[in-house]
């Protein structure tokens, strides 16, 4: 306790920030005092930047496709040029091409992996280069925060989203690697799995928002967690995965070993595997897999409105 949640004097890059979740995150960071580089594909990036400036904040819009590797470096450079610092990276940009695996086309796969996973990697690389160099030049750790956007789809293995689920699993692994690789330089990296009612998720959350009060699926709720994870107060939080929506933030536990099977000799035979594993899995339930279906049990409490 006691560390600041203020972002005054800090600068953040937020990708996919022209609408929806990214916009809410950019506004939350700006409200906490950060200067924002707002990235999106078109004019919306400049519109949100103007919205932040009109509210008394600092922001600049930068258009470009996050899957263009060079854009990562340009976003860092724009932050340094306009605000004199670069401290926070929020990766949010993404697209959907929902199909069952048997209907999936090559472009459905490539587009989603390119924008989500490569897009996260491109900006993370550029940020890491900057922070590593800055730390070496200072001879001490620097301030760095990476907040990546994963999804419950990777926890469940969403049947209609094999491309999206795979991309989000990759983003989670990238987050863990970033956390390990940049810890010595003072940088933290965490992933969030948000639910929010936006244009991109309109079909997934078809039910209407409540007429009164803040929507349990309002993207502003996610923006609050992002603002906290970007702050000095979160300095000991890294390599974590949070599920966030409604009035809840849930910390995911890492996978654990359920059981261990050992050969009686120096190596398994197929028959011995059959003897040990077949009986173990006999009658196992449909949802007793590596998928974290227990996360679904969070929903009732998370979406309850007081």
Distance between CA atoms of residues 78 and 116, nearest Å:
22
Catalytic residue (one of 151, 165, 179, 231)? 151
DSSP 189-232: EEEEEE----STTTTTT-SPPPSSS--TT-HHHHHHHHHHHTSG
Catalytic residue (one of 10, 135, 150, 164)? 164
164 as an active site residue: the answer is yes
Distance between CA atoms of residues 276 and 291, nearest Å:
22
For the chain, the residue count is: 306
- Decide if 243 contacts 295 (C-beta within 8 A): yes
179 as an active site residue: the answer is no
Which residues is 145 bridged to in the sheet? 88, 188
247 as an active site residue: the answer is no
Is 285 exposed, middle or buried (CB count within 10 Å of its CB: 0-12, 13-18, 19+)? exposed
Catalytic residue (one of 67, 168, 185, 245)? 168
Which residues have a Cβ under 8 Å from the Cβ of 261 and sit 6 or more positions away?
268, 273, 276, 277, 280
Q: From the CB of residue 261, how many other CB atoms can be counted at a distance below 10 Å? A: 11
Please state whether 175 falls in left (phi above 0), alpha (psi between -120 and 50) or beta.
alpha
Which residues have a Cβ under 8 Å from the Cβ of 173 and sit 6 or more positions away?
none
Point out the residues that are catalytic: 151, 164, 168
């Amino acid at each position: 306790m006691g560390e600041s949640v203020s972002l005054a004097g800090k600068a953040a890059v937020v990708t996919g920030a022209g609408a929806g979740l990214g916009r809410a995150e950019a506004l939350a960071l700006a409200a906490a005092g950060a200067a924002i580089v707002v990235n999106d594909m078109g004019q919306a990036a400049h519109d949100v930047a103007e919205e932040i400036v009109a509210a008394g904040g600092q922001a600049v819009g930068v258009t470009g496709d996050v899957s263009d590797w060079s854009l990562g470096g340009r976003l860092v450079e724009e932050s340094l040029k306009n605000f004199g610092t670069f401290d926070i990276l929020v990766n949010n940009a993404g697209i959907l091409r929902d199909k069952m695996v048997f209907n999936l086309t090559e472009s459905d796969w490539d587009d989603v992996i390119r924008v989500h996973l490569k897009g996260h990697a491109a900006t993370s690389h550029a940020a890491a280069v900057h922070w590593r160099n800055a730390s070496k030049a200072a001879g001490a750790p620097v301030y760095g925060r990476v907040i990546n956007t994963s999804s419950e789809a990777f926890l469940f293995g969403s049947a209609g989203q094999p491309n999206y689920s795979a991309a989000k699993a990759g983003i989670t692994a990238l987050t863990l690697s970033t956390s390990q690789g940049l810890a010595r330089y003072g940088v933290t990296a965490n992933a969030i799995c948000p639910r929010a009612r936006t244009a991109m998720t309109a079909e997934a959350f078809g039910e209407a928002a409540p007429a009164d009060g803040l929507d349990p699926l309002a993207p502003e709720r996610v923006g609050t967690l992002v603002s906290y994870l970007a702050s000095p107060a979160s300095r000991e939080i890294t390599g974590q995965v949070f599920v966030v929506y409604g009035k809840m933030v849930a910390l995911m536990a890492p996978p654990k070993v359920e059981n261990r099977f050992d050969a009686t000799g120096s190596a398994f035979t197929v028959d011995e595997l059959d003897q040990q594993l077949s009986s173990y899995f006999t009658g196992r339930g449909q949802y007793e897999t590596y998928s974290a279906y227990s996360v679904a049990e969070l929903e009732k409490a998370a979406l309850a409105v007081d």
